[in-house]
Amino acid sequence: MPAQAYAGKECVCQLRKGICDQSCVQGMLDTPFYIACLKLTGRRCVVVGGGSIGLEKVEGLLACDGQVTLIAPDAEPALREYADEGSIEWQRRRYAGPADLQGAFIVIAATDDTDVNIAVFEDAERRAMLANVVDVPPLCNFILPAIVRSGPLAIAISTAGASPALAKRMKREIEGQFGEPYARLAVLLNEVRGWAKGTLPTYRDRKEFFEGIVNGDPDPIELLRGDGAASGQGEGAVRELIARAQMQRTPQVSRA
């Protein structure tokens, strides 16, 4: 049965329909989202709302080295601790308007006040900045996917807002399939990027070099996942695999 058949919840978006008829989200599944990874290090990130959802968003931004400002008259104990230790700036008041977004790169609103949520979104839109009002898709110009994170490896899962529960299940399954061995291989391959750029003359040469390792025999993931992984022997075997690949490629370049 379509979502609009369950109309009855109070409208919380800028359409202000009184009773929600789901018309604001009917086009979500047809929206082509541009997937990107944002560098937040040192950037001002504003979170409006100090509840449990606000805590979740603050911790996600801190994990990416964002410079977080929390705007809320009250806050969860964990948020108070972050403020006390200096990890975030807590402005203990209600959202006051556009000036609160001065110098901000991104804003996330996690309040139960529809007027505040709409004001945050509209103020952000006028500044052409990134804005997300939690659980209100029409008050978002970007959505937050479920993230599987291990070392430098990050995998995003999005259902375009259709089913957060399904995204969470997929996250659990992906965490089981792609974990520490993949993250470790990414680190080891990054160590030879400088050599590849300095030694292999073309993009195609570098592409073939790395794909030969990743897709080769023996499988580097299996080496990192095997019995010697805990002792570091698996990592040593992968380093040897990379070294052999370097030796195979270096003579070709020297003859050129």
Q: At residue 27, does pLDDT exceed 70?
A: no
Residue 244 has pLDDT above 70, yes or no: yes
pLDDT at 249: 86
Reported confidence tier of residue 17, pLDDT bands at 50, 70, 90: low
User: Which distant-in-sequence residues (6+ apart) come within 8 Å of 35 by Cβ?
Assistant: 156, 158
Average confidence (pLDDT) over 15-30 = 65
Residues in the chain: 256
pLDDT band at 24 (very low <50, low <70, confident <90, very high): low
Give the amino acid at 217: D
Among 176, 137, 180, which Cα is nearest to 160's?
Answer: 137
CA distance 13 to 132: 12
Find, among 187, 171, 152, the residue nearest to 64 by Cα: 152
DSSP state of 101: G
For the cut 90, the answer to whether the pLDDT of residue 119 exceeds it is yes
Choice among 3-17, 108-122, 239-253 with the minimum mean pLDDT? 3-17
pLDDT at 5 over 90: no
pLDDT of res. 245: 94
Give residue 128's pLDDT: 96
What is the mean pLDDT of the segment spanning 56-85?
96
d(CA 200, CA 190): 15
Number of helices and strands in the chain (H, E): 9, 7
Strands (E), 134-247: 146-150, 153-157
**Proportion of the chain above pLDDT 90, given as a percent:** 60
Of the ranges 62-66, 173-177, 231-235, which one carries the lowest mean pLDDT score?
231-235
Q: How confident is the prediction for the chain on average, in pLDDT?
A: 87
What backbone torsions phi and psi does residue 65 show, to the nearest 5 degrees?
Answer: 65, 25
Bridge partners of 156, per DSSP, are: 147
> Is 226 a residue whose pLDDT tops 80?
no
Distance CA 182, CA 88 (A): 32
**Which pLDDT does position 14 carry in this prediction?**
64
Residues 194-217, mean pLDDT to the nearest whole number = 93
